[in-house]
């Protein structure tokens, strides 16, 4: 039932989604048909002088009725559409009455086609049958031939309707796909901004907080009148932390642009700096920026914790390329020196909890805990 009462979609009744070539073809066919009709009127000797001008005006009026009909059907206005269609059919009957057979036939044929093409079928089919009946009864052809031609024009109108509805459906689906892509792009941009904010926060939060600790210590030393060398040590430490934070920030930005050095090289250098043993397994391959950053941050945090809580301990850094993932293990033994109670001079300081959250966002895992008279940090990340 809905099929009979439903209007064609707005996309089907407009030019939305119509290829330019199709528009040119439609315009060419319209101009050709209008030219034939005007040529027939211009050479009709039955309408000399002002009568011919009046006939041309009537034809122009019929064209205006068709244009107005098309406009109101776009807005699904049934009452005005039926009124305009009735005027068009009446104009066809009037033209037939004065002997203008060709314009009358054109008016009826267009009425049949547009009623089937642009109205709900429950209304358009009776209107099309009425228009085709007028053509069959009042036209020059015999009634059987007129009825056959009217049925053919009904079929033409219905075929155009199906074609335009298919085009409208395709256009709507295309718009929905474009909207989905725009939403996906917005979501990706939001995720990227979130990732950038997380990276910058991880770097700057620790760097700035450590600088504040050293600068506050320097202020207290100055207020107590302590030795200048002690104050200078704190200021130098804060300066060193500022440099370290700036380097870390640059590294994070480079990674976000996909310009990081290979992770394996970074781990080898970090292990050498901390006096740790470095091992690698598997065939070397390029990692995504997200996975590369996660590996770097976990390595920095784990080595920093070793320096803080187990100074002098033997450390082994193991990095393996596995099927579909990478494995990072940082294992340290017992401390050989007493842990320092003061703030660390350098270090990542991002927190294993934050690193675990980072790994889970990537679809990986992070384990950290005691193992074999020491401590083990193990990261698995997709790659």
> Picking from 14-18, 52-56, 238-242, which range would have the lowest pLDDT averaged per residue?
14-18
Q: For the ranges 177-181, 253-257, 277-281, which has the lowest average pLDDT?
A: 253-257
Q: Are residues 304 and 171 in the same domain?
A: no
Residues 292, 161, single domain; the answer is no
Is residue 223 in a domain? no
Is residue 336 within 8 Å of residue 311, measured between CB atoms?
Answer: yes
Do residue 163 and residue 306 come from a single domain? no
293: CATH: 3.30.565.10
What percentage of the chain reaches a pLDDT higher than 90? 9
Q: Where is the domain boundary, 144, 166, 181?
A: 181
Which CA distances in Å does 132 have to 19, 60, 224? 31, 22, 108
Domain boundary among 134, 159, 181: 181
CB 30 within 8 A of CB 70: no
Render pLDDT for 241-256 as a digit per residue (tens, 0 to 9). 777 777 667 666 666 6
- Same domain? 37 vs 145: yes
Looking at residues 31-39, what average pLDDT do you find?
A: 74
148 located within any domain: yes
Identify whether the C-beta of residue 374 lies closer than 8 Å to the C-beta of residue 315: no
Report DSSP state, residue 324: T
Has residue 363 got a pLDDT over 60?
yes
Q: The domain containing residue 285 runs over which residues? A: 260-383
Q: pTM to 2 decimals? A: 0.48
62, 83, 199, 202, 286 from 248: Cα distances, Å: 77, 75, 10, 10, 21
- pLDDT exceeds cutoff 90 at 91: no
42 shares its domain with 156: yes
| Closest of 198, 197, 207 to residue 304, by C-alpha | 207
Q: Give the model's pLDDT for residue 251.
A: 66
Alpha helical stretches, state H, the chain: 2-5, 10-13, 20-42, 50-74, 78-97, 101-118, 121-138, 143-224, 228-256, 263-274, 289-309, 352-362
Residue 302 within any structural domain of the chain: yes
Residue finishing a domain among 181, 207, 238? 181
Q: What total number of domains does the chain contain?
A: 2
166 lies in the same domain as 17: yes
Per-residue pLDDT band at 259 (split at 50, 70, 90): low
Residue 201 lies in a domain: no
């Amino acid at each position: 039932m809905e099929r009979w009462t439903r209007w064609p979609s707005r996309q089907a009744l407009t030019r939305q989604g119509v290829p330019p070539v199709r528009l040119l073809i439609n315009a060419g066919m319209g101009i050709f048909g209008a030219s034939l009709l005007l040529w027939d009127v211009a050479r009709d000797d039955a309408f000399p002088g002002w009568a011919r001008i009046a006939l041309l005006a009537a034809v122009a009026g019929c064209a205006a009725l068709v244009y107005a009909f098309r406009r109101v059907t776009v807005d699904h206005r049934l009452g005005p559409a039926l009124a305009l269609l009735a005027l068009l059919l009446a104009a066809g009957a009037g033209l037939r009455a004065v002997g203008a057979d060709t314009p009358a036939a054109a008016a009826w044929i267009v009425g049949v086609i547009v009623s089937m093409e642009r109205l709900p079928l429950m209304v358009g089919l009776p209107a099309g049958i009425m228009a085709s009946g007028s053509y069959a009864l009042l036209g020059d052809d015999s009634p059987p031939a007129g009825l056959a031609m009217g049925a053919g024009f009904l079929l033409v109108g219905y075929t155009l309707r199906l074609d335009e509805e298919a085009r409208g459906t395709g256009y709507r689906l295309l718009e929905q796909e474009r909207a989905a892509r725009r939403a996906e792009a917005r979501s990706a941009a939001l995720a990227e901004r979130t990732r950038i904010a997380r990276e910058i926060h991880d770097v700057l939060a620790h760097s700035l907080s450590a600088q504040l600790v050293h600068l506050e210590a320097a202020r207290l030393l100055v207020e107590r009148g302590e030795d200048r060398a002690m104050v200078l040590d704190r200021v130098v430490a804060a300066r060193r932390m500022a440099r370290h934070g700036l380097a870390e920030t640059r590294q994070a930005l480079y990674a976000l642009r996909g310009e990081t050095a290979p992770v394996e090289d970074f781990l080898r250098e970090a292990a050498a700096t901390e006096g740790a043993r470095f091992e690698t397994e598997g065939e070397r391959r390029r990692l995504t920026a997200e996975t590369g950053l996660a590996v770097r941050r976990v390595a920095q945090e784990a080595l920093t914790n070793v320096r803080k809580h187990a100074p002098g301990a033997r450390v082994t850094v193991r990095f393996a390329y596995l099927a579909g993932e990478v494995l990072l293990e940082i294992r340290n033994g017992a401390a050989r020196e007493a842990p320092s109670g003061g703030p660390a001079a350098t270090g990542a300081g991002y927190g294993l909890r934050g690193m675990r959250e980072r790994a889970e966002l990537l679809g990986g895992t992070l384990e950290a805990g005691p193992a074999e008279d020491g401590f083990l940090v193990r990261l698995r990340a997709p790659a």
